[in-house]
Amino acid sequence: MKHFLDINKTDPAALRGMIDAARAMKTARNGRPKGMPDDDQPLKGRMVALIFEKPSTRTRVSFDVGVRQMGGQTLVLSGADMQLGHGETIADTARVMSRYVDLIMIRTFEEAVLLEMAEHATVPVINGLTNRSHPCQIMADVMTFEEHRGPIAGKKVVWSGDGNNVFASFAHAAGQFGFNLTFTGPETLDPERVFLDEARAKGAEITIERDPHKAVQGADLVVTDTWVSMHDPQSARERRHNQLRGYQVNAALMAQAKPDALFMHCLPAHRDDEATSEVMDGPHSVVFDEAENRLHAQKAIMRWCLGV
C-alpha cells in the first residue's frame, strides 16, 4: 500500500519522480481553462474521499480540482458530520471507507488518527495536514523553488517563526532533497528535536540561530507561517505574538538574505504579523505559485499512491 504520510517516510527517488510528474502535468495544462480535464485521465472511474477535521481552502479546493482534472470523482467530508466525530473508531471508519472509495485524504489533529487510518485502510491514505506535519505543502514548495531557481539540493532555507507542523515537513524534506535548513525563533517554540536529528543523520546541515538577521545571511529561501496554528489554543495567541514579533519577515530581514532569495508562506497569512504585505506582495514572494503548485504536486502524489 503506497500511503503518502510524510516526506521522511517516502523514498527520495519516489519524491523526485512526483516533482517531475507534477511539473510535466503543469506544463501540459499550459493555457487550458482550469475546469478542462487533462488529456490524460488516470483517475477515470476512481472515487477519492477528502476528510476535513479542520478548516481548509487550498487543500480542499486543490485536491478536489486535481481529482476532477484527472477524470476522477470526489466526496468532500467534514469529520464532524461523520460518525468519526461521534465516537466511531478510526479503524472502523478506515475499513468502511475502503469499501467505497479508492483513495482517502485526511486533514486531522493528532498524527495518531492519520496513522490509525493508514493502518486499517485497504486503500492509500494521504496526509492533508496534522498537528505534526504538512507534507503535501512542502512537495509544492520544493516544486516552486525548483521552478524558479533550479535544484534545491545544497541551498540554504531559513525558517523564521514557530517551529510548527509546516517546519517539520521542511525538515523532512531537507533530509530527503538534500538542502540545508536554519531555524530562527524563540527557544520555547523550537521544533521537535527528532525532526532536526533525523535530517542531520541524512546529511542535511541543520542550524538553530536565535538572531533572525544572522540566520537569513546567505539564504536562498526565507519561509514563515502563521504564529498561531489551528491546533494551538487561542489563549496562547497574545503570548505567541509577543514571543514571535522579532521574527516577522519584513523588508529589512529579506534585505539580509541573498539578493535573489525567494520568500514563501503556505497561506493563510496574517498580513503584517508573521510577514509584512510589502514582502508578501514584493519581488521575492512566490506565495501564490506555492498555492497553485499544491494542485499539480498533489495530482502527482495521488498518481503515485494509485500507481496510475
* Positions in the binding site for ligand CP (CB under 6 A): 56-59, 129, 137, 266-268
Cell numbers that stand for 87 in this block = 465516537
Strand partners, 207: 182
CB of 109 to ligand NVA, least distance (A): 10
Residue nearer to ligand NVA on the CB measure, 294 or 303: 294
Q: What is the nearest approach in angstroms of ligand NVA to the Cβ of residue 23?
A: 23
| Residues 266, 30 contacting (CB under 8 angstroms) | no
164 makes contact, choosing from ligand CP, ligand NVA, none, with CB < 5 to 8 Å by partner type, with: ligand NVA
Distance CA 254, CA 222 (A): 8
Q: Is the dihedral of CA 125, 294, 107, 110 positive or negative?
A: positive
Note the residues at the interface with ligand NVA (CB under 6 A). 129, 164-166, 225-226, 229-230, 266
Q: Grid coordinates standing for 221?
A: 529561501
Positive or negative torsion for Cα 223, 227, 233, 239: positive
CA distances for 24 relative to 40, 119, 140, 143, 159, angstroms: 12, 32, 14, 11, 29
State how far the Cα of 127 lies from the Cα of 137, in Å rounded to an integer: 10
CB of 62 to ligand CP, least distance (A): 8
What is the C-alpha separation between 139 and 132, in angstroms, rounded?
16
Query: Do 124 and 14 touch, CB atoms closer than 8 A?
Result: no
Nearer to ligand NVA, 121 or 297 (CB): 297
Would you name the residues annotated as active-site residues? Answer: 107, 134, 137, 225, 266, 294
Partner from ligand CP, ligand NVA, none binding residue 57, C-beta < 5-8 Å depending on class: ligand CP
Q: Give which of ligand NVA, ligand CP, none residue 277 binds (C-beta under 5 to 8 Å, depending on kind).
A: none
By beta-carbon proximity to ligand NVA, the closer residue of 124 and 128 is: 128
Closest to ligand CP by CB, 102 or 225? 225
Classify burial at 153, counting beta carbons within 10 Å of its beta carbon; exposed 0-12, middle 13-18, buried 19 or more.
exposed
Task: Look at residues 102, 115, 167 and name the one whose alpha carbon lies nearest to residue 137.
Answer: 167
* 57 vs 83 by CB, closer to ligand CP: 57
* Phi (first) and psi of residue 261, to 5 degrees: -65, 145
Shortest Å distance, C-beta 56 to ligand NVA: 8
Q: Out of ligand NVA, ligand CP, none, which partner does residue 282 contact, by CB within 5 to 8 A per kind?
A: none
Residue 79 phi/psi, 5° resolution? -55, -40
How far apart are CB 129 and ligand CP at their closest, in Å?
Answer: 6
Nearest distance from residue 98's CB to ligand NVA, in Å? 27
Neighbours of 69 (CB within 10 A): 22
Report d(CA 105, CA 131) in Å as an integer: 15
Residue number with CB closer to ligand CP (40 or 111): 111
Query: Cα-flanking dihedrals φ and ψ of residue 40, to 5°?
Result: -85, 130
